[in-house]
Structure 1
């Protein structure tokens, strides 16, 4: 059992330990805002269109500043950029608190502040990921990524549940205020880091569009790195069924139209599985054929989504045995996705040079953020055309087919392995 439990060796390094502990707090705070924004928008407008618009206001800055933030992470001291981005997150959350506390009652103000917050997040995320290999030896990166993924999923469960409980006694402005305060913990952790100046030649990385283009050029020239992005897009676009949850909760499993417990369990199942997978991730650092591990994990993800879709079709409007089968499939899929994400992050950190690591992490941020949002559009359209069962199960099957095609097109990715000499 000791060999199966999460490898906590990276936590022996003080800098990583502070970042990780701060991440527990800040991720929960961030999920309070993720919960509060759509609730406030709907309360202000009584329109789901405005709630959906928040996805566009979040995605655009994620793409733009994710790419540029990665370039900046290669061109300047990563510790300094992390401090700026963490402080920016705190200020954005404080402004969200102010508009709610002052009862501004303007949806466009909320949307614009959300965009500002996501811009700082888009800078913070690739910079933080690019900083980890400067803190830890390569042999500990898989374990470190598993620990970080576990914290992210833990926050995705605890944050919304905590928000739902807190709103019995406080208003939405308090949720924003808590998020702003938790961001200060992240500032403290980054201030304690050692300086991380660029490792390339002075002025070599650049700050503008050319640096971003160089990052894409690097991706195009390295098949293993390129395929780490492609396989994730295949898994998410075809296999992420979260857009179907409201309809399936009501029609397939007999839940109330407005959501309720059935919807909450569907929404939390993947994150719960990912947390469980993270807790038993001790075997990850011992895997050398990381490309093959990613392929296997994504195939498992696709198969579990087939099971989820078929369980929904068999449930026939009743929350009986098939509902629990569906939850089990989602949880197992979440665990497989955690494994895939941990190894893909590790490949990206190990297979590239430090001079372009920030830009590649920026592309990673865009792929991770954009894939599920494209999946929402694809699955929503598919469900309208062929029904939720075919959309969910068929999407999972397409993931498996897509992975077979990826393996045939890029066998080098499957053969990729970590050298046993790395510690």
Structure 2
């Protein structure tokens, strides 16, 4: 690839060069993310081995959903009230305790399934606080004109852990057992403790009063999101895409019953989405000066829907994986643009709570998609479920455009001129 072309599409790494704190934060997140992904493989695997029940294994996701959503909202209010760096450090205590308890149970053998559910819910809740807090920190670590590149780097490296982490988890479980995978997760939390400890304090600017009730603070954040049509549109379009166009629950069914590729084929389909997302996020240099981010989001979600729909008709595993990689790339571009929109229209003292709503949407969409795709597949077959989900996503985009025209009209330069972002803290 010619150097000039590469420089135009490769994500700008200038934010990492300019901001020591951003390097520390992302570096800690990457190492911790690898451990988290390893544990995310271990827990459902353990539940299935213990119960031999696909239903009880799937129930794990439902058990995790409520604490994840509740803790995300709580974490957003706390992130807008206290030093975000300190909150992130305290949150690691809960994650280390949870992962260590899972390791101890794995080494002991045959733990009660109910206890695995409780610890899984605990890990999901503290993980939500970590996600919300780090999302609210990033915009204050870089200059406003570097924000989009910083978000792309953070997202791209995060999706990379979703490709590498499960592979590490599978190898560790096969070679050393479940307990070792959980211990790796616990130890990985120390990485973000070490890097965040070296960062400067990250107090929110214009923080809410400490005596204000938490529920009132959460309500204020929800009212802000509801009152901003561009925000609402970005959340709604992601929810539509994930609910109707994310057939991840059907990947094992496609691999086993359609393509006869077994566990290896299942892993390939899961990895294809994340791999496409990683490549796209790390080649978003062309987005650095784009203004009409809402239009890019709408186009990207349309590509997502088309790719998923055609994947439902694919005649071979590799064609399906290629189409899912295209879908993942489109979702990645949408995610970077939506994150830029969300952070740009939100004052710093509301970023934690806005990020908490974003986390709830991102969390609930794929799980609703599991229910939708599984139900349709049970009634009409797996191929029809994937195809109809992609088409429903396309129809949903049209509805979103009508319901939230502010997303289509979004102009980054106009927003920046009307409400410029504050200068970043010294690094």
Normalised to the residue count of structure 1, the TM-score between the two structures is 0.93
* Residues 205, 355 of structure 1: 8 Å contact kept: no
Shift of 1:169: 2.4
CA RMSD, 1 decimal: 1.7
Residue aligning to 1:273: 276
Instruction: Please tell me whether residue 287 in structure 1 is matched to residue 290 in structure 2.
Output: yes
Distance across 1 between alignment mates of 2:199 and 2:283:
29
Deviates most, 233-242 or 282-291 = 282-291
Q: 1:210 Cα deviation (Å)?
A: 1.5
In structure 2, the partner of 1:319 is none
Residue aligned with 1:168, SS: helix
**Contact 1:75/1:207 (CA < 8 Å) preserved in 2?**
no
Shift of 1:205: 8.4
What corresponds to 2:424 in structure 1?
none
Tell me the number of residue pairs that the alignment of Structure 1 and Structure 2 aligns: 411
Is 2:295 aligned against 1:301?
A: no
Bigger mean CA deviation after superposition, 220-229 or 101-110: 101-110
Check whether the contact 1:87–1:187 (CA below 8 A) recurs between aligned residues.
no
Alpha-carbon contact 1:87-1:184 (below 8 Å) kept: no
Contact 2:250/2:373 (<8 A) preserved: yes
Contact 2:84 2:202 in 1 (8 A): yes
**Structure-to-structure mapping, 1:104-183, within 5 angstroms:** 105-183=111-189
Unaligned runs of 5+ in 1: 316-321
Instruction: Report SS of the residue matched to 2:313.
Output: helix
Deviation at 1:48, TM superposition (A): 2.1
- Equivalent-residue separation in structure 2 for 1:173 and 1:377 (angstroms): 31
Match of 1:199, SS? coil
Q: CA deviation at 1:104?
A: 5.7
8 Å Cα contact 2:80/2:208 also seen in 1? no
Instruction: Indicate whether 1:411 and 2:405 are aligned.
Output: yes
The change in CA–CA distance for 1:205 and 1:291 in structure 2 (over 3 A counts) is farther
> Contact (CA 8 Å) 1:69, 1:123: kept in 2 or not?
yes
Indicate conservation of the 8 Å contact 1:74/1:205, yes or no: no
| Cross-structure match for 1:358 | 352
Aligned to 2:77: 71
Deviates more, 1:176-185 or 1:403-412: 403-412
Aligned structure 1 segments of 4 or more residues deviating by more than 4 angstroms: 420-423
Q: Tell me: CA distance 1:201–1:125, structure 2 relative to 1, closer, same or farther (3 Å).
A: closer
Q: Secondary structure at the match of 1:395?
A: helix
1:371 to 365, 369, 394: 365
SS at match of 1:75: coil
CA distance in structure 1 between the aligned counterparts of 2:199 and 2:176, rounded to whole angstroms: 35
Question: 1:184: how far off?
Answer: 0.3
Question: Are the counterparts in 1 of residues 401 and 408 from structure 2 also a CA contact under 8 Å?
Answer: yes
> Secondary structure of 1:280's partner?
coil
- 2:425 counterpart residue number: none
Tell me whether 1:264 sits opposite 2:267 in the alignment. Answer: yes
Q: 1:35 aligns with which of 8, 33, 41?
A: 41
Within-5 A mapping of 1:166-315: 166-200=172-206, 203=209, 206-255=212-261, 259-311=262-314, 315=315
Instruction: Give yes or no for the alignment of 1:11 onto 2:19.
Output: no
Q: Which runs of 5+ in 2 are unaligned?
A: 1-5, 422-427
Query: Relative to structure 2, which stretch is displaced further, 94-103 or 124-133?
Result: 94-103
Asked if structure 2 preserves the Cα contact closer than 8 Å seen for 1:7 and 1:282, the reply is: yes
Query: Secondary structure of 1:79's match?
Result: helix
Task: Spell out, residue by residue over 1:317-341, the C-alpha distance to the aligned partner (whole angstroms, 9 max, x if none).
Answer: xxxxx33221111000000111111
Work out the CA distance in 2 between the residues paired with 1:250 and 1:45: 21
Summarize the Cα distance change of 1:205–1:278 in structure 2 as closer, same or farther, 3 Å threshold: farther
Helix, strand or coil: the match of 2:111?
coil
User: Could you say if the C-alpha distance between residues 205 and 238 of structure 1 is closer, same or farther in structure 2, counting changes exceeding 3 Å?
Assistant: farther
Q: Deviations over 1:32-68 (max 9, x none)?
A: 1001101111222222232122112221111100011
C-alpha separation in 2, matches of 1:226 and 1:191: 35
Judge conservation of contact 1:205–1:211 (CA < 8 Å) in 2. Answer: no
Match of 2:396 in 1: 402
CA gap 1:270/1:202 in 2 versus in 1, 3 angstroms: closer
Structure 2 distance, partners of 1:84, 1:59, is: 22
Q: Which residue of 2 aligns with 1:344?
A: 338
User: How many angstroms does 1:275 deviate by?
Assistant: 1.3
